Homo-oligomer: A and B are copies of this chain.
Amino acid sequence: MNANSSRPAPAAAGRPSPTLEDLALAAGVSRSTASRAINGGSKVSAQAQAAVDAAIVALGYTPNRAARSLVTRRAGSVALVIPEPDARVMMDPYFAAVIMGVNEALRETDLQLVLLMSRAGDDSARTIRYLRGGHVDGAIVVSHHRADDWVESLGATGLPTVFIGRPWDTESGIPYVDLDNFEGGRLAARHLSGAGRSKLATIAGPTDMTAAVDRLQGWLQGLREAGLQPGPVIHGDFTTAGGADAAARLLAEAPDVDGIFAASDLMALGVVDTLRGKGRRVPDEVAVVGFDNHSIQAANGLGLTTVAHPMADIAAAAGKLLVDAIANPGELPEPVIYPAELVVRGSSVA
């Protein structure tokens, strides 16, 4: 296609990349005019603009981010903070979806995504120091637990911050994007009761995450509305193995259960596995509803009834919110809540 743009600057070792000065010289204008042309300045004549554009192509010019950052006082990057200490939980494809979504939102901007993962306690200090150090223009925080109180203090630093998933402290008005987890839990309860199940139980998520709490509250509310007993509540850790364990405990406690709501598809997978291992037929004897609408659930033979959780979309929305917040500092955007939707498949209906 374009011959001279194919190899602008291989330049092993020696040749330093052209500076704005070089560009201005090549275009026959001043450094100031070149800068204006690059940044879409309004006060540039058509021919100056054209000359600069041509010179950019000819020289393969790329602005030096560091120099620009230094004077604009903008880092040109945003952090994705994952305060997740456990490598196993990190394996959850949830994070992959989040990363993709945020990346998607940043595509049109010239912001780059910096990953910040903290594990041990000491690391969180390091993370917050980094965030406050002005090394990024904003932050997106995902999957934070109640113990991660430092995260909330971010809002006070003036660094634009958006949460994915409702934070524990909504008082501070930090914007966030989330699924309507409460409604999701409620939908699960309504669905199972509507399918004629009455001895219901749930494998809930960890109590230190708002998503888990909301799903559980919604579930209990749904049962109440259906006039059913709340039934056993076992807590798992959102993983497959955790779901399998929890199901075993559940069966010991309530052998006559005929419907289970697992607060994640991964746990639901473990639940189905345990049920089958104990000889219970799904959905005939026990109906199972999951949460997330993971692609992995296809492995289940029968499809898994679940609550859709468009994680990538949610992450992308959070990314856009952050971009806006950076552009218009001061104004706090409203939280965005995605509606919950039930996807009915074979695991809950005969």
Q: A interface vs B, CB < 8 Å? A: 1-3, 5, 7-13, 17, 39-42, 62, 64-67, 69-75, 77, 87-88, 90-93, 95-97, 99-100, 103, 112-115, 117, 129, 132-135, 156-158, 239-241, 244, 266, 269-270, 273, 276-277, 295-296, 298-301, 312, 327, 329-330
Q: Are A17 and B133 in contact (CB under 8 A)?
A: yes
- A selection of 12 A-B contacts at a CB cut-off of 8 Å is A8-B72, A10-B134, A12-B157, A62-B134, A64-B70, A64-B134, A65-B135, A66-B66, A90-B96, A115-B115, A239-B295, A241-B298
> Least Cβ distance of A8 to chain B in Å?
6
- One of B9, B90, B239 near A132 (C-beta < 8 A): B9
Q: Is the CB of A296 within 8 A of B240?
A: yes
CB proximity of A35 to chain B, nearest CB, Å: 12
Interface residue from B12, B133, B158, B298 paired with A330 (Cβ < 8 Å): B12
Of the residues B73, B87, B96, B117, contact of A95 by C-beta under 8 Å: B96
Residues of B within 8 A of A13 (CB): 157-158
Q: Please, which residues of chain B bring their CB within 8 A of the CB of A299?
A: 240, 244, 269-270, 273, 299
Please give, as numbers and ranges, the residues of chain B lying within 8 Å of A277 by CB-CB distance.
Answer: 301
Query: A107 — nearest CB in chain B belongs to which residue?
Result: B123
Report the separation of the CA atoms of residues A72 and B4 in the bound assembly, to the nearest whole angstrom. 13
Q: From B65, B90, B269, B327, give the contact of A2 (CB < 8 A).
A: B327
In the complex, are the beta carbons of A3 and B39 less than 8 A apart?
yes
Asked if residues B72 and A70 are in contact (CB atoms below 8 Å), the reply is no
Is B301's CB under 8 angstroms from A276's CB? yes
A103 to B330, CA, bound (A): 33
Q: How far is the CB of A333 from chain B (nearest CB, A)?
A: 15
The minimal Cβ–Cβ distance linking A306 to chain B, given in whole angstroms, is 15
Please measure, in the bound complex, the distance between the C-alpha atom of A134 and the C-alpha atom of B66, giving whole angstroms.
Answer: 10
Q: How far is the CB of A326 from chain B (nearest CB, A)?
A: 9
Residue from the list B67, B87, B157 in contact with A100, Cβ < 8 A: B87
Residue in chain B with minimal CB distance to A113 = B115
Does B66 lie within 8 Å of A70, measured CB to CB? yes
B residues near A296, Cβ cutoff 8 Å: 91, 240, 266, 269, 296
Among B5, B40, B62, B301, point to the contact of A133 (Cβ < 8 A): B62
From residue A103, how far is it (CB to closest CB) to chain B in Å? 5
Tell me, rounded to whole Å, the shortest Cβ–Cβ distance linking A345 to chain B: 14
Q: In the bound complex, do residue B100 and residue A90 qualify as a contact, i.e. CB atoms below 8 Å apart?
A: yes
Q: Pick the contact of A298: B1, B70, B133, B244 (CB < 8 A).
A: B244
Q: Do B42 and A3 touch (CB < 8 A)?
A: yes
Q: What is the bound-complex CA distance between A215 and B62, given in angstroms?
A: 42
> In whole angstroms, how far apart are the Cα atoms of A232 and B171 in the complex?
62
* Chain B residues within 8 Å of A77, by CB: 114
Cα distance A262–B135 in the bound complex, in angstroms = 45
* Chain B CB within 10 A, most for which of A87, A117, A296: A296
